[in-house]
């Protein structure tokens, strides 16, 4: 049990939408007596239980159509659940849809006051924050222009600027940051991290899984409107990426490409052929890839890669990039790929193998073929290793060096 109070509590929440098959109002009137035959119930959320503690940053992740945005809207009070309850504490600010809370015929200035009023600020409070809002948004030149002439990036800049200046206890963000350019995204992430240091609560919907690992304490994986995983950001993104890999493999198998070949295994070995699961710095690593084709396969490409447990690629190559055409494949064959001078940082890694057509698409994938474990001395973090670290002060004697 934790002593930190929950600021969001979701209990047994479900949300149903009615999909009507009538194509026009006329058809709906004519078919009124048979309306049930011309509509379909779609459950976007089913039996969601979720508690979010104050001061935490939670990522809602999952494939498209999994219910992430619907859940965020239910938490924000934008939509009402079909069943179940949502309880919230504190002032809440939400960035849910591009242009939400803005009127297209009003200027940016007017929309700042309108949006701030929707989020609970008085006009006097908005007056106090107005200059800071405009400065953060970076669109001062266009603040007296009607927002219907704004680009999508300008919409997001102004909306985010308003949301972070209403002093929210809870900030809800739904993917809209992806619309902004890279400098503005970095600016927003810096502000989000400052919110974290101040102990505010953030609930984030995004498809950028590396961003989730970077800024979230916790992540919840949704699929078909249900929670399938809830844990640390690394654990949850690992579950989702494994699900994506399985889906990709299934799609490849059912695509009917006429290529009946597969990667059977990828085995890490030492240079002299012994199994190797804990490579030392600068030690050569041999990846023995076993492939098989039921029929003769011409113009094929073999690929290998090393990923972090969350699926972030660390290293990858293939025979096409190396300019090495392979002989016809029929039956089973072992191919050794030798990586010399490989330096991985401390941690766990997954090895993958793949087959593709020359100048074509991948048709076979083995995403988690083997696991590597790299030990370090604790002097550094991250997936990149170096042969030595030295630190020296300008104008002062050299500090400690690590060989």
Q: Positive or negative, the Cα torsion across 128, 196, 383, 61?
A: negative
223 pLDDT higher than 70: yes
The pLDDT score that the predictor gives to residue 9 is: 95
The pLDDT score that the predictor gives to residue 152 is: 82
The pLDDT score that the predictor gives to residue 75 is: 93
What CATH code is assigned to 1-90+209-251? 3.40.50.300
- Averaged confidence pLDDT in the chain: 85
Least confident of 87-101, 182-196, 321-335: 87-101
**Average pLDDT score over residue span 126-148:** 92
The answer to whether the CB of 358 falls within 8 A of the CB of 328 is no
The pLDDT score that the predictor gives to residue 260 is: 82
Please report the beta strands in 99-215, taking only residues with DSSP state E, as ranges in sequence order. 170-174, 201-205
CATH topology of domain 258-374: Coagulation Factor XIII; Chain A, domain 1 (2.70.50)
What are the backbone dihedrals phi and psi of residue 370, each rounded to the nearest 5 degrees, phi first? Answer: -160, 165
Distance CA 168, CA 176 (A): 18
Q: 363-393 as b/e, with b when 16 or more CB fall inside 10 Å?
A: bbbbbbbbebebeeeeeeeebeeeeeeeeee
Q: 289-320 as b/e, with b when 16 or more CB fall inside 10 Å?
A: bbbbbeeebeebbbbbbbbbbbbeebeeebbb
The answer to whether the CB of 62 falls within 8 A of the CB of 209 is no
Q: Taking the CB of residue 64, how many other CB atoms lie within 10 A of it? A: 7
The answer to whether the CB of 266 falls within 8 A of the CB of 354 is no
The pLDDT score that the predictor gives to residue 403 is: 42
Strand-strand pairing, 313-318 and 329-339: unpaired
The answer to whether the CB of 267 falls within 8 A of the CB of 337 is no
Strand-strand pairing, 261-269 and 170-174: unpaired
The pLDDT score that the predictor gives to residue 46 is: 94
The answer to whether the CB of 44 falls within 8 A of the CB of 17 is yes
Q: Would you kindly state where each structural domain of the chain is located, as residue ranges?
A: 1-90+209-251, 258-374
First to last CA, the chain: 45
Q: Is 330 helix (H, G, I), strand (E, B) or coil?
A: strand
- Write the pLDDT tens digit of every residue in 270-298: 988 899 888 887 788 999 999 999 989 99
The pLDDT score that the predictor gives to residue 160 is: 86
Distance CA 293, CA 13 (A): 49
Q: Which tokens is 244 given?
A: 């994506």
The pLDDT score that the predictor gives to residue 2 is: 55
Distance CA 11, CA 47 (A): 8
99 pLDDT higher than 80: no
**Average pLDDT score over residue span 221-250:** 85
116 burial type by CB count under 10 A (0-12 exposed, 13-18 middle, 19+ buried): buried
Strand-strand pairing, 313-318 and 300-307: antiparallel
């Amino acid at each position: 049990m934790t002593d930190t109070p929950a600021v969001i509590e979701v209990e047994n929440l479900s949300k149903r939408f009615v999909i009507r098959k009538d194509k026009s109002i006329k058809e709906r009137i004519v078919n009124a007596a048979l309306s049930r035959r011309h509509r379909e119930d779609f459950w976007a959320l089913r039996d969601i239980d979720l508690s979010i503690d104050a001061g935490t940053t939670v990522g809602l992740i999952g494939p498209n159509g999994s219910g992430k945005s619907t859940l965020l809207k239910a938490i924000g009070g934008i939509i009402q659940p079909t069943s179940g309850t949502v309880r919230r504490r504190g002032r809440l600010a939400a960035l849910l849809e591009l242009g939400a809370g803005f009127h297209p015929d009003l200027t940016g200035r007017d929309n700042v006051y309108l949006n701030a009023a929707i989020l609970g600020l008085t006009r006097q409070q908005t007056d106090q924050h107005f200059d800071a809002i405009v400065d953060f948004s970076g669109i001062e030149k266009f603040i007296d222009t009607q927002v219907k002439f704004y680009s999508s990036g300008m919409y997001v800049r102004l909306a985010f600027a308003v949301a972070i200046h209403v002093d929210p206890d809870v900030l809800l963000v739904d993917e809209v940051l992806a619309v902004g350019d890279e400098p503005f995204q970095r600016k927003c992430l810096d502000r989000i991290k400052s919110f974290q240091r101040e102990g505010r609560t953030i609930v984030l919907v995004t498809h950028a899984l590396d961003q989730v690992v970077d800024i979230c304490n916790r992540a919840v994986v949704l699929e078909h409107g249900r929670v399938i995983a809830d844990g640390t950001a690394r654990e949850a993104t690992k579950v989702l990426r494994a699900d994506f890999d399985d889906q990709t493999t299934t799609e490849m198998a059912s695509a009917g490409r006429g290529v009946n070949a597969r990667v059977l295994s990828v085995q890490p070995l030492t240079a002299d052929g012994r199994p190797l699961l804990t490579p030392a710095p600068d030690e050569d690593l041999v990846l023995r890839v076993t492939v098989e084709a039921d029929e003769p396969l011409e113009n094929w490409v073999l690929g290998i890669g090393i990923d972090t447990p969350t699926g972030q690629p660390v290293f990858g190559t293939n025979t096409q990039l190396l300019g090495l055409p392979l002989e016809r494949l029929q039956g089973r064959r072992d191919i050794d790929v030798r990586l010399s001078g490989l330096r991985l940082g401390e941690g766990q890694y997954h090895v993958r193998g793949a087959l593709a057509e020359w100048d074509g698409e991948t048709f076979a994938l083995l995403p988690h073929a083997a696991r590597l474990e790299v030990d370090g001395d604790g002097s550094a973090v991250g997936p990149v290793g170096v042969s030595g670290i030295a630190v020296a002060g300008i104008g002062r004697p050299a500090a400690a060096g690590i060989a």
